[in-house]
């Protein structure tokens, strides 16, 4: 089984709808991250969390919110989706002593 899972893998939604992307991990890592990937722009950090009570904004947090329900679960919400939030979203994890991050398979989100 994959160490970092994301659901759903693909989602099409309409402008103005609320949507939640979920991430679960079995690696036992404390740190979790949400990125979005756009063609030609690489990965940009949306939010990150060092533990259940520690959540931090990344470089592009506007229009997004997160919830760290448990050490293993980190959800990303779009309260009112807009077309320019169409992107590939990745969840990643890392442990408390290392910098390398481990990525989930991604969620492709389309907002029409």
User: Does 101 contact other proteins by CB under 8 A?
Assistant: yes
Q: Please, what's the b/e burial string for 36-72 (b: 16 or more CB within 10 A of its CB; e: otherwise)?
A: beeeeeeeebbbbbeeeeebeebeeeeebebebeeeb
Q: Which stretch binds other proteins (CB under 8 A): 13-21, 64-72, 77-85, 93-101?
A: 93-101
The rounded radius of gyration (Å) of the Cα atoms in the chain is 13
Among the listed ranges 12-20, 61-69, 78-86, 100-108, the one in contact with other proteins (CB under 8 A) is 100-108
105 forms part of the interface with other proteins (CB under 8 A): yes
The correct pick among 20, 58, 67, 73 for binding other proteins (CB under 8 A) is: 58
């Amino acid at each position: 089984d994959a160490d970092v899972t994301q659901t759903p893998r693909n989602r099409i939604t309409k402008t103005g709808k609320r949507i939640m992307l979920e991430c679960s991990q079995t690696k036992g890592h404390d740190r979790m991250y949400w990125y979005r990937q756009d063609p030609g722009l690489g990965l940009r950090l949306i939010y990150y969390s060092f533990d259940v009570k520690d959540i931090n904004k990344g470089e592009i947090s506007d229009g997004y919110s997160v919830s760290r329900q448990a050490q293993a679960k980190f959800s990303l919400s779009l309260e009112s989706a807009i077309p320019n939030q169409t992107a590939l979203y990745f969840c990643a994890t890392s442990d408390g002593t290392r910098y390398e991050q481990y990525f989930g398979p991604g969620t492709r989100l389309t907002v029409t």
